[in-house]
């Protein structure tokens, strides 16, 4: 079955066409600057030259049409006709409390995605535009919504309730939801398979460390806690996000700097994290590491704080589960940065974690990086959200 996987942003659309039989990527690409001057589609198919189309994309419907044209193009395409696409899987940010699993889109599902615009103001409207564009371009082809919040829905109340007046939960559904759920579900499942763990009871901690970063704890593949909250701002220090913070900091800076709460939230989302801590060097961990090597103190503090926060969460989640069988590292930093993995694990000697330096000297490959005597299996497991979305889609439409 050929599945088109779509990840829509407000002005971008990423796609992959995946053959679910052998899970190979037939083609992938990106539409940029949708609705803005200078729109561009970049399309890459296995064994073919890159194809770039610079043409106006006033909306997501036009973008989807251009993706279809690229997929069936005589030179750069990979299918003869769009009828070869059996289903479309969409990454959708927020499913509120309604969806704890992926679902085939119908009018009710679209209504819930719309009701969650408040909770995911940047992503949900774009995700819905992507779905409606596919409905228009491929009538009759099922669309599946794969929610980033679904994995977190199995958290118990003690993990997801904030200690604020209960009326805010009742009125506005204010609670912890968690994000990166597709990645956490995929990697925790891979950890169980790859590590030969008990599928029903394995206690797994996944560290998704990229530009956005989060940690999850799961038992038998079911999430029991995760570090992001009502929004992706909570939890770890990230590329540009602050993560956990005393809320009084918001009031204090707003008063001193004459900022609105919205402006302050923009600072916490876009100007904080290692970018802010390093005095504005970069949000890219490679640049921060380079600056640290060159002797920059703020860069060194930013990195140390990042590693320390991850280790604290691992400690907390080990307590939450009363043990841990495996810790998996994934995403940009988790997959590529052996120093990050080693430093984080250096806090975990009390758990009997021992890293094998030779095994840890690896990038982007599935591998156990702990020594045989380690009491906890530590693994590098590349995430693959597109493949996860493809699998969820196939499971629902088959």
Catalytic positions: 148
- Of 235, 239, 272, which is closest to residue 253 (Cα–Cα)? 272
Structure tokens belonging to residue 87: 């289903």
By CB under 6 A, tell whether 397 contacts ligand AMP. Answer: no
CB 208 within 8 Å of CB 180: yes
Based on CB atoms, which residue is closest to ligand AMP, 95 or 332? 332
Cβ atoms < 10 Å from Cβ of 201:
10
Distance CA 19, CA 297 (A): 48
Helix (H, G, I), strand (E, B) or coil at 36: coil
Least distance to ligand AMP, CB of residue 311, Å: 17
Least distance to ligand AMP, CB of residue 286, Å: 5
31 Rama sector, left if φ>0, alpha if ψ -120 to 50, beta otherwise? beta
Least distance to ligand AMP, CB of residue 283, Å: 6
Cβ atoms < 10 Å from Cβ of 172:
11
Strands 367-368, 222-226: pairing is unpaired
Number of residues that bind ligand AMP (CB under 6 A): 12
Taking the CA of residue 82 as centre, how many other CA atoms within 13 Å lie in the half-sphere pointing to its CB?
18
Can you name the residues that pair with 329 across neighbouring β-strands?
A: 207, 380
Based on CB atoms, which residue is closest to ligand AMP, 31 or 281? 281
Buried b (16+ CB within 10 A) or exposed e, 48-64: eeebebeeebeebbbbb
- Write the DSSP string, 81-101: -GGGEEEEEEEES--TTT-SS
By CB under 6 A, tell whether 44 contacts ligand AMP. Answer: no
Based on CB atoms, which residue is closest to ligand AMP, 77 or 178? 178
Buried b (16+ CB within 10 A) or exposed e, 106-144: eeebbebbeebeebbeebbbbbbbbbbbbbebbeebbbb
Based on CB atoms, which residue is closest to ligand AMP, 133 or 207? 207
Binding mask 200-219 for ligand AMP (x = CB under 6 A): ----------xxx-------
User: Which is it for the CA torsion 247, 252, 253, 255, positive or negative?
Assistant: positive
Least distance to ligand AMP, CB of residue 335, Å: 8
Based on CB atoms, which residue is closest to ligand AMP, 29 or 210? 210
Binding mask 138-177 for ligand AMP (x = CB under 6 A): ----------------------------------------
- Write the DSSP string, 99-162: -SS-EE--HHHHHHHHHTTTTSTTTHHHHHHHHHHHHHHSTT--EEEEETTSGGGG--HHHH--
Q: Which of 16, 226, 278, 336 binds ligand AMP (CB under 6 A)?
A: 336
The residue number with the shortest CB distance to ligand AMP is 332
Segment interacting with ligand AMP, rule: CB under 6 A, options 11-19, 26-34, 51-59, 278-286:
278-286
Q: Which of 333, 368, 378, 379 binds ligand AMP (CB under 6 A)?
A: 333
Using CB under 6 A as the binding rule, the residues of this chain from 279 to 298 that contact ligand AMP are 284-286
By CB under 6 A, tell whether 332 contacts ligand AMP. Answer: yes
Based on CB atoms, which residue is closest to ligand AMP, 151 or 285? 285
Distance CA 31, CA 9 (A): 10
Strands 103-104, 85-92: pairing is unpaired
Least distance to ligand AMP, CB of residue 214, Å: 11
By CB under 6 A, tell whether 337 contacts ligand AMP. Answer: yes
Least distance to ligand AMP, CB of residue 211, Å: 4
Kindly compute the dihedral angle of the four CA atoms of residues 51, 57, 60, 66, in this order, to the nearest 10 degrees: -30
Based on CB atoms, which residue is closest to ligand AMP, 91 or 175? 91
Least distance to ligand AMP, CB of residue 134, Å: 25
Based on CB atoms, which residue is closest to ligand AMP, 18 or 333? 333
Least distance to ligand AMP, CB of residue 63, Å: 22
Q: Which of 89, 189, 239, 243 binds ligand AMP (CB under 6 A)?
A: 239
Segment interacting with ligand AMP, rule: CB under 6 A, options 26-34, 109-117, 199-207, 332-340:
332-340
Q: Which of 129, 219, 331, 355 binds ligand AMP (CB under 6 A)?
A: 331
Residues that bind ligand AMP (CB under 6 A): 210-212, 239, 284-286, 331-333, 336-337
């Amino acid at each position: 079955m050929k599945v088109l996987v779509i990840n829509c942003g407000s002005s971008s659309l990423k796609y992959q066409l995946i053959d679910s039989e052998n899970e190979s990527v037939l083609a992938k690409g990106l539409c940029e600057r949708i609705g803005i001057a200078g729109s561009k589609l970049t399309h890459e198919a296995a064994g073919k030259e890159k194809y770039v189309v610079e043409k106006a994309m006033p909306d997501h419907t036009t973008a989807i049409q251009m993706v279809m044209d690229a997929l069936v193009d005589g030179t750069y395409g990979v299918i003869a006709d769009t009828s070869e696409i059996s289903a479309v899987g969409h990454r959708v940010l927020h499913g509120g409390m309604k969806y704890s699993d992926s679902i085939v889109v119908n009018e009710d599902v679209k209504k819930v995605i719309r009701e969650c615009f408040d909770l995911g103001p940047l992503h949900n409207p774009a995700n819905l535009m992507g779905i409606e564009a596919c409905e228009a371009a491929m009538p009759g082809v099922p669309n599946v919504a794969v929610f980033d919040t679904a994995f977190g829905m199995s958290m118990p109340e003690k993990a997801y309730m904030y200690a604020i007046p209960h009326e805010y939960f009742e009125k506005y559904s204010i609670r912890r939801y968690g994000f990166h759920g597709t990645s956490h579900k995929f990697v925790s499942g891979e950890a169980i398979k790859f590590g030969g763990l008990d599928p029903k009871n394995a206690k797994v901690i996944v560290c998704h460390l990229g530009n956005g970063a989060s940690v999850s704890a799961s038992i038998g593949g079911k999430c029991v806690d995760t570090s992001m909250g009502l929004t992706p701002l909570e939890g770890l220090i990230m590329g540009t996000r602050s993560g956990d913070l005393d809320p009084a900091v918001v009031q204090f800076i707003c008063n001193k700097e004459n900022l609105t709460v919205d402006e302050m939230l923009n600072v916490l989302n876009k100007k904080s994290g290692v970018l802010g801590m390093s005095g504005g060097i970069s949000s890219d961990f490679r640049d921060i590491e380079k600056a640290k090597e060159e002797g920059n103190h703020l860069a060194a503090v930013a990195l140390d704080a990042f590693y320390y926060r991850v280790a604290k969460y691992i400690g907390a989640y080990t307590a939450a589960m009363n043990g841990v069988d495996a810790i998996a590292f994934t995403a940009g930093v988790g997959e590529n940065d052996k120093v990050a993995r080693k430093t984080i694990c250096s806090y975990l000697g009390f758990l009997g974690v021992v890293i094998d330096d030779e095994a840890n000297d690896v990038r982007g490959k599935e591998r156990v990086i702990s020594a045989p005597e380690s009491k906890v299996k530590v693994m590098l497991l590349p995430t693959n959200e597109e493949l996860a979305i493809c699998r969820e889609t196939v499971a629902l439409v088959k």
